[in-house]
Amino acid sequence: MLRYTIENMTCGHCVATVTKAVHGLDPSAAVRADVAGRSLEIDTGATSEVVSAAIAAAGYRVTPV
Ligand SMILES: [Cu+2]
């Protein structure tokens, strides 16, 4: 499981955008978001580097936890 803090994930629209970015890499990834905690958990076979690059490309400030 990958865990990130995403500073500017502030609403459901952000969650949808981030989730879409992750599913672009791995359509079967399980994405769990906590907007209040600015945290994201992802079950995926993709590497953390690739996933965080995709999230960053979607416009989010992502930090691995
Ligand atoms: Cu938002």
pLDDT of the residue at 26? 97
Tell me, in angstroms, the distance from the centre of ligand 1 to residue 13's CA: 4
The number of domains in the chain is: 1
pTM for the full model? 0.94
Q: Say which CATH number the domain at 19 has.
A: 3.30.70.100
Tell me, in angstroms, the distance from the centre of ligand 1 to residue 14's CA: 4
CA distances from 17 to 14, 36 (A): 5, 16
Look up the domain containing 56 and give its range.
2-64
Tell me, in angstroms, the distance from the centre of ligand 1 to residue 35's CA: 9
pLDDT of the residue at 35? 97
Tell me, in angstroms, the distance from the centre of ligand 1 to residue 2's CA: 21
pLDDT of the residue at 61? 98
Q: Per-residue confidence of the chain (65 residues) as pLDDT tens digits?
A: 999 999 999 999 999 999 999 999 999 999 999 999 999 999 999 999 999 999 999 999 999 99
Report yes or no: 58 and 21 within 8 Å, Cβ to Cβ.
yes
Tell me, in angstroms, the distance from the centre of ligand 1 to residue 28's CA: 23
pLDDT of the residue at 49? 97
